[in-house]
Amino acid sequence: MKASTVIVALLTGVLFGFGLAYSTMVKPEVVLSFLRFQDFGLLLVLGGAVVVTAIAYLVLPRIMPRPLLGGAFGRHPSEMNGRTMGGAALFGVGWGLSGVCPGPAIAGLGVGNWPLLIAILGMFAGAYVQGLLASARSPASPGAAR
């Protein structure tokens, strides 16, 4: 792994974490107030992020042969199948119960929201069980389960 990739990821995290804190998404109470139709701010956060990102995803690969520091432009792995949709349905239940999703859970530690450590441990445990079940399903083809 290139050192530049690690540094870019670190800086990306700093800016992303600051944005999550600035927009109060690190407060589960604010996320829950959106899900209860009391404050629709979350839609502005998501919408603002999507617009900027969509422009970058559309324009950059057309004007640059490769990323500035080398490598190749990636693409989010997204497949139309039951796992994607079933997993999304489950994710929503967990998100709606706790008010916490992966990015804000981690960034929330930075603003001193220590109780979110409980959610992070829960996410690591959930991800482990998912990997355990996926491994049991297709032990011979580790690359297949994209």
Partner 1 sequence: MQQFFPNGIEIYLVGGLLLGVAVSFAFAMSGLVTGMSTVFSSTWSFVSRLSYFRQDRFVSSRGWRLALALGLVLGGALFLLTAAHGVLFQTQVPGWRLAIGGFIAGFGARMSNGCTSGHGICGIASFQMPSILAVVIFLVTAIATAQLVATLGGV
Residues touching partner 1: how many (CB under 8 A)?
127
- Judge residue 109's burial from the number of C-beta atoms within 10 Å of its C-beta, 0-12 exposed, 13-18 middle, 19 or more buried: middle
Binding to partner 1, residues 114-143 (CB under 8 A): 114-116, 118-132, 134-135, 138-140, 142-143
Binding to partner 1, residues 76-115 (CB under 8 A): 76-81, 83-103, 105-115
- For residue 63, CA distances in Å to 4, 5, 54, 66, 67 come to 22, 21, 15, 9, 10
Compute the least distance from the CB of residue 31 to partner 1, in Å: 8
The answer to whether 67 touches 58, Cβ cutoff 8 Å, is no
Compute the least distance from the CB of residue 3 to partner 1, in Å: 10
Compute the least distance from the CB of residue 144 to partner 1, in Å: 9
Mask: binding to partner 1, 27-66, rule CB under 8 A, as x and -? xxxx-x--xxxxxxxx-xxxxxxxxxxxxxx--x---x-x
Name, in order, each residue with C-beta under 8 angstroms of 32's C-beta and a sequence gap of 6 or more: 96, 99
Compute the least distance from the CB of residue 63 to partner 1, in Å: 10
